[in-house]
Structure 1
Amino acid sequence: MTHQLPLIEPDVLIIGGGPAGLTAAAEIADRGAGRVLVVDREKQAGGIPRHSDHTGYGLRDLRRVMTGPAYARHLADRAARSGAEIRTSTMVTDWSDQHTVDVTSPEGRYQIRARAIVLATGARERPRTARRIPGDRPHGVYTTGQLQNLVHLHHQPVGKRAVIVGGELVSWSAAMTLREAGCTPALMISKYPKAESYGAFNAAGRTILRVPVATRSRVTQVMGKGRCEAVEIENLDTGKRRTVECDTVVFSGDWIPDHELVRSAGITLDERTLGPLTDTALRTSRPGVFAAGNMLHPVDTADVAALDGKHVAQQVINHLDGRHEPAEGVRLIADAPFRWIAPQILRPGDPAPARDRLLLWTDEFVRFPKVTVRQDGRIVARRTLAWPAAPGRVFRIPSSVLDGISYTGGPVHITTYNSRE
């Protein structure tokens, strides 16, 4: 005899209680679109900002600047005040059918069936093992998220001298966390000609945090038995290697979406982002299942993820009301030096993407980017932008560059080159 699991049936299920999921929940509940349920596997909702205890959050979505924990509390409180239900320590383990998921929580196992589902599970940094860096396996090796969780949530000590692998914005966040924990960030390592973060952050980091940056370099080995003792780094141009003593190593950046539920559902993945393939309405390939936030574009700032949540809310409401059946669309493809683009499908009648921006990731520095859009061998648009394309951070272009495309044509290719070459 098969045991039937208890079933609850909200109108909207949001999986993931970070900035994207909480903002979507608040917006949908505010508009009276039915019962909204948010589930999150952590003990508290709020996502990464919960343990990112520094300022800089909320600028784009809230028009104010807050610390990460304050920002997380604000979003969770707003969702709850709007009428959304938030269940924490609750993990979605599998799909029972196209709109029903299996859940494990402190209350036991049950199922949730919803008319619309929003996947907002975010992204994570690749740990050392995923980066295939050889050597010993000592204590003292973290990702930024692990470090911040240890320091800000559990108030545990780390080491005394650290090496940070990566030069992204989150790398400077790791440096601040290390300082707060009494650990000196002795060196930051980037494979690029300069650290990937914005120039202002790089300058401030070197001046205020006093962290030197080894560019065009990589870690080739981690040394130490019980505790980390050193790393070996290699200059990518000369091949010269040297050993840097440290008792702590932080692997920062190099993000990958938390896409396990996407894969287990058989929802189409974009081979570039490794997140679900979506259109500008943030629909996935499964009807009634949407996606938002950093699982789509790993990784952007928390406030941009929140604005994705605001954008997807209206699309979910449209779906619940049966207002719009998606038409056939055209694929958007990022060509080198771009690695990926989000969203990846443009359909007639759909809204512009969130903030009227296409998001791309570049593998090369392009100081004066001229963006070129091509379809079926013809140039649809050329646009010179005033901001550089740089590795390690999202490059945004106005979605109006797509105004001249044909919805009955072939794939649309987007690339860039330096306009002053």
Structure 2
Amino acid sequence: MNPDTPTPGTTPLLTPDVLVIGGGPAGLTAAARLAPRVPGEVLVVEREAEAGGIPRHSDHTGYGLRDLHRVMRGPRYAAHLAARAAEAGAVIHTRTMVTGWADAHTAEVTGPAGRRRIRARAVVLATGARERPRPARRVPGDRPHGVYTTGQLQNVVHLHHGRVGRRAVIVGAELVSWSAVLTLREAGCAVALMATEHPAAESYAAFTVPGRTLLRVPVATRTRVTRVIGRGRLAAVEIEHLDTGARRTVECDTLVFTGDWIPDHELARAAGLDLDPGTLGPLVDTALRTSRPGVFAAGNLLHPVDTADVAALDGAHVADQVLRHLAGDGDGEESPGVRIMAEPPLRWIAPGLLRPGAPAPPRNRLLLWTDEFVRVPRVTVRQDGRTVARRTLPWPAAPGRALRIPWSVLRNVDDRGGPVTVGVH
């Protein structure tokens, strides 16, 4: 009997060579690169109605610079990646959700075809990241309508062409915060204030300066929302200056919480994979291998959050490593490796593991996240009580965006030694 043909009363079993979970930039790029190069099937499962990930409902320009070397609007970028994966031979199942694991390499899924199991020779987790909603941020006050994350806002405006309010407050001043500004502008909603707890806007000056001058968005630094006001519909928010304690009320009917990212790590947790306590995503080495041989992870599941094109390049990198695994060339795959850890004010570093024989990470860069602004970061790498590298970076470390440092700072690390710590000051 064909192993893919179920016996009566059993769940159908699919057996692709590679299962990619998540149809965003990382997953689709990995699938497009793998499909022509493996003998069996590359299957992508995506829980949304269409593949493409967050760019699908980010209807503004700025996508594709690093991976495609051209600039596109979000929906076109998402459609391009989905079409490229399909044209390469990948099979994409949308409206399909992985609900659990039957064993180490067998996923249980539910979709339009019903319940199935998928057993693959290699699995790539590319489930991305999401913004923390208001309840997770513990902002007190009323529970009115009109409160969104950026993703929820873009879904309402760009996908469902729904209406929001007329006057908004945005919490956060990251890159995604300016994406929210553009979405609100398209919906005919003015931005009364953008508030950030940091001493400066987190996004690049190339976004902040035009946003303040051309879009006329006022940015209040060292400011937090302390109360949400409104019965039925949002009426106002109370904000506080963190240095003076002064409070005031800002009238608004729309409130958007931006940034404060967390990986969509539920499947990684359910699989029992080792998690990085900093990123909260799977702990991976520079080949993007998890603690389970044959299971890989890529994209913003690992570094919440970086731009879509960086996530896509993760997908290209992990595809090459999957091919090595399928060919039996998994140097160091069973090694526990050396932990790479971040020191405060750094929150996390990715990848977080160095194994013998592993390649350089995607783009030859380590990605870090800082909780404090450092204008001229001086990077120090330590292992076993000694300093193995120092490097001064020509770009600042700023909260709300990934700090990239050259992989070469780990050149003198002993991949069989003790844990490595990376700090900036």
TM range (shorter): over 0.9
Aligned counterpart, 1:116: 122
Q: Using the alignment, how far apart are the partners of 1:318 and 1:364 within structure 2?
A: 39
TM-score, normalised to structure 1, is 0.98
Q: CA deviation at 1:329?
A: 1.8
Aligned counterpart, 1:357: 365
Match of 2:134 among 107, 128, 133: 128
Aligned counterpart, 1:315: 321
Matched residue of 1:133: which SS?
A: coil
Query: Is residue 2:224 matched to residue 1:218?
Result: yes
Q: Using the alignment, how far apart are the partners of 2:36 and 2:404 within structure 1?
A: 29
Aligned counterpart, 1:403: 411
Moved more, 125-134 or 323-332: 323-332
Query: Is residue 2:204 matched to residue 1:162?
Result: no
Note the 1:297-312 alignment, pairs <5 A. Answer: 297-312=303-318
Equivalent pair of 2:61/2:74 in contact (CA under 8 Å): yes
Q: CA deviation at 1:231?
A: 0.3
Aligned counterpart, 2:212: 206
Q: Using the alignment, how far apart are the partners of 2:305 and 2:65 within structure 1?
A: 17
**Runs of 5+ consecutive residues of structure 1 not aligned to the other structure:** none
TM-score, normalised to structure 2, is 0.97
Q: CA deviation at 1:328?
A: 4.0
In structure 2, what residue type is equivalent to 1:365?
F
Aligned counterpart, 1:334: 342
Note the 1:11-410 alignment, pairs <5 A. Answer: 11-326=17-332, 327-410=335-418
1:48-103, CA deviations, whole angstroms, 9 ceiling, x for partnerless residues? Answer: 00000000000000000000000000000000000000000000000000000111
Equivalent pair of 2:356/2:416 in contact (CA under 8 Å): no
Q: CA deviation at 1:373?
A: 0.4
1:20–1:33 distance in 2 versus 1, CA, 3 Å: farther
In structure 2, what residue type is equivalent to 1:71?
Y
1:204-258, CA deviations, whole angstroms, 9 ceiling, x for partnerless residues? Answer: 1101111001100111111101100000001100111110000000000000000
Equivalent pair of 2:331/2:356 in contact (CA under 8 Å): no
Q: CA deviation at 1:170?
A: 0.2
Q: CA deviation at 1:34?
A: 2.7
In structure 1, what residue type is equivalent to 2:80?
H
Equivalent pair of 1:288/1:319 in contact (CA under 8 Å): yes
1:84-129, CA deviations, whole angstroms, 9 ceiling, x for partnerless residues? Answer: 0000000000000000011110111111110000000000000000
Q: Using the alignment, how far apart are the partners of 1:383 and 1:28 within structure 2?
A: 36
Equivalent pair of 2:195/2:219 in contact (CA under 8 Å): yes
Q: CA deviation at 1:189?
A: 0.5
Q: Using the alignment, how far apart are the partners of 2:77 and 2:344 within structure 1?
A: 36
1:408–1:325 distance in 2 versus 1, CA, 3 Å: closer
1:33–1:204 distance in 2 versus 1, CA, 3 Å: farther
Q: Using the alignment, how far apart are the partners of 1:59 and 1:415 within structure 2?
A: 29
Q: Using the alignment, how far apart are the partners of 2:8 and 2:227 within structure 1?
A: 52
Matched residue of 2:52: which SS?
A: coil
Which portions of structure 1, spanning 4 or more consecutive aligned residues, are displaced by more than 3 angstroms? none
Q: CA deviation at 1:287?
A: 1.1
Equivalent pair of 1:14/1:21 in contact (CA under 8 Å): yes
Equivalent pair of 1:33/1:317 in contact (CA under 8 Å): no
Q: Using the alignment, how far apart are the partners of 1:143 and 1:234 within structure 2?
A: 21
Q: Using the alignment, how far apart are the partners of 1:226 and 1:138 within structure 2?
A: 5
Q: CA deviation at 1:324?
A: 2.0
Q: CA deviation at 1:31?
A: 2.1
**Runs of 5+ consecutive residues of structure 2 not aligned to the other structure:** 1-6
In structure 2, what residue type is equivalent to 1:99?
H
1:307-333, CA deviations, whole angstroms, 9 ceiling, x for partnerless residues? Answer: 000000010011111112423421101
1:352-407, CA deviations, whole angstroms, 9 ceiling, x for partnerless residues? Answer: 00000000000111111110001111110100110000000000000000001112
Q: CA deviation at 1:2?
A: 9.9
Q: CA deviation at 1:33?
A: 4.7
In structure 2, what residue type is equivalent to 1:347?
R
1:256-300, CA deviations, whole angstroms, 9 ceiling, x for partnerless residues? Answer: 000000111111111110000000000011111000000000000
Q: Using the alignment, how far apart are the partners of 2:415 and 2:274 within structure 1?
A: 21
Q: Using the alignment, how far apart are the partners of 2:266 and 2:279 within structure 1?
A: 14
Percent identity of the aligned residues? 72
Q: Using the alignment, how far apart are the partners of 2:234 and 2:116 within structure 1?
A: 43
Matched residue of 2:130: which SS?
A: strand
Q: Using the alignment, how far apart are the partners of 2:330 and 2:106 within structure 1?
A: 23
In structure 2, what residue type is equivalent to 1:24?
A
Equivalent pair of 1:375/1:413 in contact (CA under 8 Å): yes
Moved more, 218-227 or 2-11: 2-11
Aligned counterpart, 2:4: none
How many aligned positions are there? 417
Q: Using the alignment, how far apart are the partners of 1:173 and 1:346 within structure 2?
A: 35
